[in-house]
Amino acid sequence: MAKSYETEHPVKAFGLAATDSSGHLSPFKFSRRATGDDDVQFRVLYCGICHTDLHQLKNEFGVTPYPIVPGHEIVGVVTEVGKKVEKVKVGDGVGVGCMVGSCRSCESCHEDLENYCPKVIPTYAAPYHDGTITYGGYSDIMVADEHFIVRIPDNMPLDAAAPLLCAGITTYSPMRYFGLDKPGMHIGVVGLGGLGHVAVKFAKAFGCKVTVISTSFSKKDEALSHLGADSFLISKDANEMQGAMGTMDGIIDTVSAHHALMPLIGLLKAHGNLIMLGAPNKPLELPVLPLLTGRKMISGSGIGGMKETQEMIDFAAKHNIKADIELISANYVNTALERLTIADVKYRFVIDVANTLKQS
């Protein structure tokens, strides 16, 4: 029988995997590569549950290679480093976000935009350089090239830092790139979930005025009193939406499902930018006329490069920005995924991997 790379890897690992598009996660034994010269191995302590995990588990993009071990908001403590590693040492708090490899030689890689490298290697469900399929952070041990390791600042709680590795950088990067980071600007945040709630926090730290646009009335009080949003619109309330027409410089759209763009474009000032971050699995309808009449823009953005990810987490530590999390045990993960499907989480589930993921 041909040897598989997965069983050839010498480091025994244990995680949670789905084997079909039901997305149901079950215990899964696998193995990881030995720590190479440029590699950092770490014991996973916490892993956030991103909505992308849910899309992938259910094969909503049609490309999931089962079995899949999801998880790309991974933090832990370094257990071993390769002999060329300089960034971190054994015992340091580290993280891995959405990618574990790229070509390192293309234009995007040279510009510190590994996330836009045509050969970027996502943290799970993708072929790695050696041909094995990558497995994510719903697992007890992780190994990654040091280039794709993020240092977690000492003053940051590791559990609440985990979601920043995807949700944090995904919202921070476009606000910076598109210049929606200036004091006094008015930013809309659509969808108050994992991405949305950290978008509010970053926008407030930039000195912006923030309006949340949500389907969930139940999130209103907390958004205003706790997350620091300045106002809150219910997207289905036509009067409320009408009252805010033409007031926003930019909108961060984090909605994971099909939704109408027309009301959101209406909220923008002339030259405003609607930035699409959510990944609905079906095309959205694009009304063109309201773009022309205000020279408005619709754009997209995907995570961020490694340099900017480190910058984001250092910025978060400096400004006391952390994710609001519901810490769960590994055996609750299937229930958590069901709740995530109906937007029932404030605001990110994080799996307490080290304390609760046990081989029995």
Interface positions with Zn ion (CB under 5 A): 50, 52, 102-103, 106, 109, 117, 166
Q: Which does 57 bind (CB under 5 to 8 A by kind): Zn ion, ligand NAP, none?
A: none
The single residue among 259, 269, 296, 339 that binds ligand NAP, judged by CB under 6 A, is: 259
Binding mask 146-175 for ligand NAP (x = CB under 6 A): --------------------xx--x-----
Smallest distance from ligand NAP to CB 125, Å: 13
Rounded Cα gap, residues 123 and 71, in angstroms: 8
The single residue among 76, 122, 191, 250 that binds ligand NAP, judged by CB under 6 A, is: 191
Smallest distance from ligand NAP to CB 166, Å: 5
Angle at 335 between CA 327 and CA 346, to 5 degrees: 45
Decide: is 31 part of the binding site for ligand NAP (CB under 6 A): no
Smallest distance from Zn ion to CB 201, Å: 17
**Residue whose CB is less far from ligand NAP, 32 or 348:** 348
The encoded tokens of residue 265 equal 């474009």
Q: Which does 256 bind (CB under 5 to 8 A by kind): Zn ion, ligand NAP, none?
A: ligand NAP
DSSP for 287-331, please give it.
--HHHHTTT-EEEE--S--HHHHHHHHHHHHHTT----EEEE-GG
Smallest distance from ligand NAP to CB 76, Å: 20
Q: Which does 102 bind (CB under 5 to 8 A by kind): Zn ion, ligand NAP, none?
A: Zn ion
Please list, residue by residue across 32-41, b when 16 or more beta carbons sit within 10 angstroms of its beta carbon and e when fewer do: bbebeebbbb
The single residue among 208, 343, 350, 351 that binds ligand NAP, judged by CB under 6 A, is: 343
Rounded Cα gap, residues 222 and 191, in angstroms: 14
Residue 188 CB partners (closer than 8 Å, separation 6+): 210, 211, 212, 213, 248, 250, 251, 252, 264, 267
Angle at 117 between CA 116 and CA 119, to 5 degrees: 135
Decide: is 303 part of the binding site for ligand NAP (CB under 6 A): yes
Decide: is 255 part of the binding site for ligand NAP (CB under 6 A): yes
Rounded Cα gap, residues 302 and 324, in angstroms: 22
Smallest distance from Zn ion to CB 112, Å: 11
Name the helix (H) or strand (E) containing 15.
strand 11-17
Q: 3-state class of 148 per DSSP?
A: helix
Decide: is 254 part of the binding site for ligand NAP (CB under 6 A): yes
CA 102 vs CA 35, 107, 147, 157, 298: distances in Å: 18, 12, 10, 29, 27
Decide: is 64 part of the binding site for ligand NAP (CB under 6 A): no
**Chain residues that interact with ligand NAP, rule: CB under 6 A:** 50-52, 55, 166-167, 170, 191-196, 214-216, 219, 254-257, 259, 277-279, 301-303, 340, 343
